[in-house]
Structure 1
Amino acid sequence: MSNLNRRDFLKLAGKVTLGAAAVAAIPAAASAEAEIAAPAWPWTYKPLDKEEVKARVYANFSTHGGCCAGVSSGILELLAEKYGYPYNQIDGRMFANGGGGYGRQNLCGALGGAFAILGLFLTSSDSGSLRNQLYAWYETTAFPIYNPENLEALNVHSVSGSELCKDSVNNWMALSGFDFGSAERRARCASLSADVAAKAIELLNIHFGYETAPSIDAEAVEEPALAANEYIGVGKGFGGDIKVKVTMDGNKIAKIEVLEHAETAGIFDKAYPTVTDAIVAANGVEGIDAVAGATFSSNGLIEAVQDALSKVK
C-alpha cells in the first residue's frame, strides 16, 4: 500500500465522513416518510350496503368466533376492502370473547359488536343515542329475519323482550324445539347477528346522511273510528305495545278486541282470549290473574284494558 501524504489523507477522511453522514440520514428520512399519523377519534364513517353486511356477518359467525366477532369483523372487513386505511388496521376477531353473552349469557354479543362499531365512528352522546335505538329495536323485534339458506328452522321467530342472550336464545328454543347445541340454533344466531349488524349500519347511514330514515305511514298510525261506547287502551307486553278496543254496554264490558300487538306467536295465544274473556266475565280487571307461560302478554292485556276503562265516562 502506498503511503498517503497529509493532504490526501484529509481529502479521503472528508469523503468518508460525508458518506457516513449521508448513510446515517437515510433511515431517519425513510422512517419519517413511512410514518402515518393515527386518525383522530371518532373515525370518519363511510357507507356500506346492508345486504353485503348481512352476508358477510352471517358467514363470519362460523369462522370468526360467533356473534360479537361476526358483527364487528363483518363490518370492518367490508370497510377495509372498500376503503382501505385506516379500516384495515383493526381485526374484528378481537371481539370473539363476546360470544354467548360474553360467556355469561348476559348482553347479546351481536349487540356488543355493533356497539363497538358505533363507538368507533360517533362521539359519546351520539353513540349513546344510536345504542338506545338499537336496544329498543332489538328487544321488540321477532328474530331471525335474515334467512339466506331458506332454512325451515329460521321460519320460527321469537321476541327477546330484553337485551340478554339467554332470553333471546331460550325464547327461540322454546318455540322451535331445537336445543342449544343444534346446527339450527347456530344458524339462528348467525342470522340474528346479520340482522343486528344491518340495523347498526342503517342507523349509521341515516345519522351521516347516506340513507333516509323510513317514513311512517300516516294511515298505519291513524286511530280507528270509534262509537260512543268504544274505547282504546294500550298496555306494555313482552314484545312491545298491546292495543285493545273495549266496547261497553251501559256499565258492563261487552267485548274486548286486540287491535295491535307484537307478541310471540304461540305465547300470546295462551293469554288471548283467556284473559280478556275473564275480564268480561268479571266486568273489570281486578283479581284477574296472568296465564302461566304468558305472564308478560297477560299483564299487557290487563294494562291495556285498564287504560281503556279509565276513559269510560
Structure 2
Amino acid sequence: MRVIFMGTPDFSVPTLTEIVAAGHEVVAVYTRAPKPAGRGQVERKSPIHLAAENFAIPVHTPKSLKGADEQAEFASHNADVAVVVAYGLLLPKPVLEVPVHGCLNLHGSLLPRWRGAAPIQRAIMQGDTRTGVMVMQMDEGLDTGAIGLADEMAIGPDLTAGELHDIMMRTGADLMGRALAALERGSLEFTPQPETGALYAKKIEKAEARIDWSRPAQDIHNHIRGLSPFPGAWFEIELAGKRVRIKALRSTLAAGNGAPGTLLPGELIIACGSGAVRLIQVQREGKTPMDAATFLRGVAGQLPATVL
C-alpha cells in the first residue's frame, strides 16, 4: 500500500521501520520541524526525520495542516492510508478524509481510558496494573475513534514509564504491522469505543513533578516511576547550607514510619504520609544518574535528618 507516515519521537521509529520492512511504499513522512537544542542551540531533527532520511523517504515539516496549501500537498501523495504515531499536530477533518482508508493512530493505553498526551505516565502514576497499545481509526475527537487491533500488557509494581515506553514501542510496531496487513486483505474490522470509562491523560506539567512526602508511600512510588526518566520526580536536600535538587528515578516500597520527609535507618529510606519508600536510583542536579549507595558515599556526613 501507499502509506503516509506521521510521527516525531523515538517511540515512532520502530513502527516506521516495520512498515518499510513489510514492503509498503512510504510515500512521505510528516514530522515536527527541527528545534534548537543543547548548549549551542543547534537545530536538531526529530528521530523520525532522521529515520526517514536513512530510508530516503521525502520529509515534510509543516507547522500546521489547517491551510489549503498544506492540505493540497498532503492529498497529492495519493495515499491508501496514513499511519500516525506520536506526531504532535492535530489532523483537521479534510486531512483525515484524504487517504482511501483514512488515518490509523497507534495509542498507548486501553481506550477509552487515558486519552490524550501522556497515557503511559498517567497510567503508572494512577497505579494501573494493566495497559495496552491500540490501533485506532482517527476521527475529529481526541483519541475517540473506533478500535481495530489491541494488545494488552501488565504494568509491574516497580515498572517505570521509560521501561513501559520501550515495551509499547516494540509491541506497537508489530501491532501496526499486523493492522496494515489485515487492512490490505480487507479483514481489518473496527469496534466503537465504550461510552463509559473515559479518562484524559493531560500533559505532564513541570510543577507536578515535585514529590509531596505527605502522600502515602504507594502514591509516591507511583509518582516516581511514572515520571522516570523524564521529567523526573524531584525533591530537595540541604547540603552545606544550600538547597540541592535531587531527582528520584527508581524506588520501591520500604518498611518504616516517621514524619513525612524523615530519613529513616537504612539505605536512602524516606518516610511518607504513611509507610516509606527506598530510593534505588537518583540524580543530583548537574550530575549523571547513580545508585543510592554511590549517592550516599558522595554526601557522607552531610545528610540532614529530613528531605524537603
Is TM more than 0.5 here? Answer: no
TM-score category, normalised to shorter length: under 0.3
TM (normalized to structure 1)? 0.25
